[in-house]
Structure 1
Amino acid sequence: MSGSPHLVFDRALLRRRRDRAATTQHRVAPVLEAAAERLLDRLDDTTRRFARALEIGGRGIVAPVLRERGVDLVVSMDLSARQAAGARGLPVAGDEEWLPFAAGTFDLVVANLSLHWVNDLPGALAQIRRAMAPDGLFLATMPALGTLQPLREALTSADSALRGGAAPRVSPFPELRDGAALLQRAGFALPVADLEEITLAYRDPLLLLRDLQAAGEGNAVLARDGRIPPRALFPTALAALPAGPQGVEAALRLLTLTGWSPGPDQPKAARPGSATARLADALGTVERKAGERPG
């Protein structure tokens, strides 16, 4: 399986790490809460009220907020049974790549910092859309390209110097430009992708690695080097990280995805040529032909 070009992540290893993280992720609760708060603030942009929500990988943060916002039923699904049990919703141990829900089950789906470990992201998004009722809302955040970039570069450089080659030690992340296209490909209407950044600072860069471990976000790439790393690898890499007045900075670049399952009452683009007013009149200007100069 590890040789398949379609498999990037070791999902069995990820499940075990998320099991362990159920007892340690409280150490990084402020970061998880900040990401969830930014995502759930998007609910203020709609007057729609939701009755049946699925939260994927909420880590006990998302479900309580959804109930406070008036959602009657919240199902908490996680790859890890321990995480699902502690998520404070109706627990379901399930795989994002094989959703165990019937079509049209939910009118709201929220995935906070969980979908970046999915091998087939377009397929997972299509399954999520299928599980949603018409005119349902999908909200998700995941780390975007540029997250942990200095750490990635420092580890690659140290690996090359110590071993003469480098294996991936930081997960690949999607780009902003891919976000809306992924939603559209999965069948979502009104797709929107945007980016914001949470900057963390560490006086001791070793604490960055410990936070990643506490959150269950260690390297789960199938192509990782399974050998014991050289003793000097991490000290060398951490010493090379650029430091500022507050210490070593680590950027969490949040890619936020927003999309709606198609419904009959959603606004639709007008048919080409159906306009009844001229844009020039609306802007109070003079319409000119291509290449025509003023005067």
Structure 2
Amino acid sequence: MTQPPTLTDRKALARHRTRARALPGHDDALFLHRLALDDLQERLNEVNKRFTSAAVVTAYPQIFADFPTSAMVPDDDLIALEPGAHDLVVHFMALHWANDPVGQLVQCRRALQPDGLCLVVLPGGRSLQELRACLAEAEAAVTGGLSPRVVPMGEIRDLGGLMQRAGFALPVADSLVQTVEYRSFPALLSDLRAAGETNALAARLRRFTRRAVLAKAADIYSDSYSTPEGRLAATAELVVLTGWAPHESQQQPLRPGSARSRLADALGVPEKPLKDG
């Protein structure tokens, strides 16, 4: 079987995360992570079930200080969770860096007890759309070519399909979109660096970006995405995936053709046959 190309240089990602934790702005740069955690806690409060053995898969354990867990593990290719040991698994702000996202989700499902819940939160496809566009235009103008700079982030429809492929029951995907404003282009890049989210793609250029590229990108960003107050707008999309480990007590889809009433009767409209072709 042909192996898919490696997306992420995991050693480079680990270096970036280690460097980020040592930066003075690291804690402030995790504001989206805290927003995501608040959203997850609200979702859990709405679930009619008490969880007693939660596990969290994340590179940011410090923000889970007040979250009751029985296991906190990093988002390694092989997740260090015992099969069937948990009734809740949270995969937090890391799936976009996975070389095998379906494999990560399968491991989460295997770590769940029957009827256990998995919650996954990650950046969605609209995240940093402005930065991607500006860097691409700037690099093409300055160097005449393009290189991988921002990790690809899936669209919500595709991400929801990953939960089905991983074997989860009752999968749901939804998103939360936020607009973040920065005082300057360097401030945006600084925030990404402090959060450990700089370029760790395996296919990235192995040299520093030319200053002319960054200067051109800054000019394009300012011209295209400035607010009336002169700040720079950046889109952040948080996608939340929800799925349950299969269990016989869960609602099951009906067998095709087993309906006992017609849709036309339910809608109160006449039924019309489809035309040939």
Q: TM-score, normalised by structure 2?
A: 0.89
Larger displacement relative to structure 2 (192-201 or 153-162): 153-162
Check conservation: 1:168, 1:224, Cα contact below 8 A: yes
Paired AA for residue 74 in structure 1: S
How many residue pairs are counted as aligned between the two chains? 266
Counterpart of 1:84?
none
**Residue aligned with 2:22, SS:** coil
Q: Superposition RMSD on alpha carbons, in Å?
A: 2.0
Letter in 1 for 2:245: S
Q: How does 1:157-172 map to 2 (within 5 A)?
A: 157-172=137-152
The code of the aligned residue for 1:256 comes to: V
Give the secondary structure class of the aligned counterpart of 2:71: strand
Structure 2: 5+ residue runs without aligned partners? none
Residue 238 (structure 2) pairs with residue 254 (structure 1): yes
- 2: distance between equivalents of 1:269 and 1:145? 30
> Post-superposition shift, 1:143?
1.1
Compute the displacement of 1:112 (Å): 2.1
Contact persistence 2:73–2:79 (CA under 8 A): no
- Please tell me whether residue 42 in structure 1 is matched to residue 43 in structure 2: yes
1:245 is aligned, of 228, 231, 235, to 228
Measure the CA separation in 2 of the matches of 1:273 and 1:227. 60
3-state DSSP class of the match of 1:240?
helix
Instruction: Output the TM-score relative to the length of structure 1.
Output: 0.84
> 1:59 maps to what in 2?
61
Counterpart position of 2:254 = 270
- What CA distance in whole angstroms lies between the structure 2 residues aligned with 1:130 and 1:168? 33
- Which of 135, 143, 149 pairs up with 2:123? 143
Per-residue displacement from partner, 1:106-141 (whole Å, max 9, x unpaired)?
110112211110001011111111111100111111
CA distance in 1, matches of 2:273, 2:63: 55
Q: CA deviation at 1:146?
A: 2.1
Q: CA deviation at 1:63?
A: 4.8
Q: Is the 8 A contact 2:124 2:238 kept in 1?
A: yes
Contact 1:136 1:261 in 2 (8 A): yes
**Which letter does structure 1 place at the counterpart of 2:42?**
D
Q: Secondary structure at the match of 1:183?
A: helix
Which structure ranks higher in relative contact order (CA pairs < 8 Å, sequence separation ≥ 6)?
A: 2
Offset at residue 276 of structure 1 (A): 4.6
Equivalent of 1:288, from 268, 271, 277? 271
In the alignment, which residue of structure 2 is the partner of 1:31?
Answer: 32
**Once superposed, which parts of structure 1, at least 4 consecutive aligned residues long, lie more than 3 Å away?**
272-283
Residue 192 (structure 1) aligns with: 172
Distance 2:85 2:114 in 1: 10
Task: Give aligned-pair identity as a percent.
Answer: 41
> Is the CA contact (8 Å cut-off) linking 1:54 and 1:109 kept in structure 2?
yes
Q: Is the CA contact 1:179–1:192 (under 8 Å) kept in the aligned structure 2?
A: no
Q: Distance in 2 between matches of 1:63 and 1:184?
A: 31
Are residues 282 and 62 of structure 1, via their aligned partners in 2, closer, same or farther at CA, if it must alter by over 3 Å?
farther
- Which string of whole-angstrom CA distances, capped at 9 and with x for unpartnered residues, describes residues 219-277 of structure 1? 00111111222222212211210211241111111111110010121111123344455
5+ residue gaps, structure 1, are: 68-72, 80-94
Is residue 77 of structure 1 aligned with residue 77 of structure 2?
no
Q: Structure 2 vs 1, CA of residues 160 and 273 (structure 1 numbering), >3 Å: closer, same or farther?
A: closer
Aligned: 1:131 with 2:111: yes
User: How far is the alpha carbon of 1:102 from its aligned partner?
Assistant: 2.5
- CA shift in 2, pair 1:291/1:227, >3 Å: closer
